[in-house]
Amino acid sequence: MENITPELLEKYFKGFCTPEEEALVIRALAGKNAPPPLPDDKEIFHSIDKRALHDDLWKQVQPPTQSKKAVHRWLPLQIAASLLLLAATVGIVYQYRTTLVITDTQPTPGASRVMQAARGEKIRMTLPDGTIVHLNSGSTLTIPDKFTDTARIVHLSGEAYLEVAKDATRPFSVLTSRTTVRVLGTVFNIKAYPDDISTTVTVEEGRVRVSDAAGYHVLLTRDQGVVCIPNGKPLSVQSVYAANYTAWRHGTLIFKDQPLSQVATILARWYNVPVHIQNKKLATHRFTGRFNNNPALVAVLKELSTVMQCQYDLNDKRLILY
């Protein structure tokens, strides 16, 4: 595929393309010989190995290692089909780069495993007890080699959405630097990045108990949440729309009256790019917006710059807002 390089595809997936580069990729996707567009149903792609799809296309744009005859027989059709599939799932390649099934191992006293979602990617994993965990960008989950007979305890730094398998004899606890969340079987989201000043817990189904370092605790049920700030004050339960707090696992970015400094932190995690705000006053301006379907970074920046009346400078190494 002429002019379509691995580096250009990487930039396109992450949203770093210039308008000219984006147009080049789009023209390739819209080639006259391409088959008809695929159905616009994102759910059909959730069962596809996105990493394998990404790697297959990578191989096709790398210098061929097979004979020219073999390459010419399948390469055009494969590239066209793969590009169309990728066009329909732009960003989803990076939504879940890894799906893991973790099994019990022969326990070593005190041994644990650390699962990490790097900036710019997300991980979905199934724990030995059947609990499903979606780990957001820049997050780490530490789990024991084997859960005990009386408790299931994991440690989180960052953000995770958990569908906890029911087990009345073994409560499930998530420990962060500021809070402890204890459940028997429920679905909830917890956001506890080390560079955030607070921890947020939101319940989608069931009931959880949240305790902070000061000893205060609350019980949360469906569409309730709590923000834990280490200020020594009692915790306060809030009514929320839980789907807004868990939308990230479907590739949706939601900002609700947040200062640009917080927006920048989230963008840095999602897109794995350093963000610098040159104007200190601009950093305090607040932004509200919603971006669906794993938006490209440039799409977010266009809307952001219009609403905030600011400018941006973006390349593959950093983003500057001014």
pLDDT digits (tens, 9 = 90+) for 158-183: 999 999 999 999 999 999 999 999 99
pLDDT number for residue 2: 54
Provide the residue ranges of all domains of the chain, joining segments of one domain with +: 6-93, 98-245, 251-321
| Residue 70 vs residue 197, higher pLDDT | 197
Query: Which whole number is the average pLDDT over 309-320?
Result: 93
Rounded Cα distance, 168 and 58, in Å? 47
Mean pLDDT of the chain: 81
Pairing mode, strands 179-183 and 208-212 = antiparallel
pLDDT number for residue 27: 72
Nearest residue to 191 (alpha-carbon basis) of 147, 224, 226, 237: 226
Rounded Cα distance, 80 and 296, in Å? 21
- Domain 98-245 classified CATH 2.40.40.20? no
pLDDT number for residue 75: 44
Q: Is the pLDDT of residue 153 over 90?
A: yes
Helix (H) or strand (E) holding 225: strand 224-228
pLDDT number for residue 26: 73
pLDDT number for residue 25: 77
Give the pair of three-digit tokens for residue 120: 């710019």
Q: What pTM does this model have?
A: 0.72
pLDDT number for residue 217: 96
What is the fold of 251-321?
A: Phage tail protein beta-alpha-beta fold (3.55.50)
